[in-house]
Amino acid sequence: MKIVLIMISLIIILLITWQLWKKLTWKTVMVSDESQPQRLIRKTYEQLKSEDVRCKIKAEVQDAEQTPAGVEPILNDPPPPHASVLKLEVHRNDLKKLNELEA
């Protein structure tokens, strides 16, 4: 029984460590909004890939408008629209290469 608990604990620790490592490996350098449209992020992504910079585009769906805590939304109102946000992430070891390209 102790062996099973130890194994489960190790698996949980490894999963948490892996998630932290994954989060720390990639740095967000651009986020799409009104000032930086999604096409600019896609264009920058293609340019960085052509320069052998490890990067990726991450898409997230966010509520355009969130209801404050403790406030009940009116039932007759339609649900708020969702906005897709793109993030351009660069591998932490390639940040120096990215800075050299920008200079």
Number of domains the chain is built from: 1
- Answer whether residue 8 is part of any domain: no
**Does residue 45 fall inside a structural domain?**
yes
pLDDT tens for residues 16-74? 999 998 888 899 999 987 667 888 999 999 999 999 999 999 888 766 555 455 555 55
Host domain of residue 84: 26-62+79-103
Query: Both tokens of residue 12?
Result: 């949980």
Indicate whether 5 belongs to any domain.
Answer: no
Answer whether residue 89 is part of any domain. yes
Query: Does 85 fall in a domain?
Result: yes
- Per-residue tokens: 101: 């390209």
Separation between Cα atoms, residue 79 and residue 29, nearest integer Å: 31
Per DSSP, the residues of 2-65 read: HHHHHHHHHHHHHHHHHHHHHHHHEEEEEE-SSSS-HHHHHHHHHHHHHTT--EEEEEEEEESS
pTM more than 0.75: no
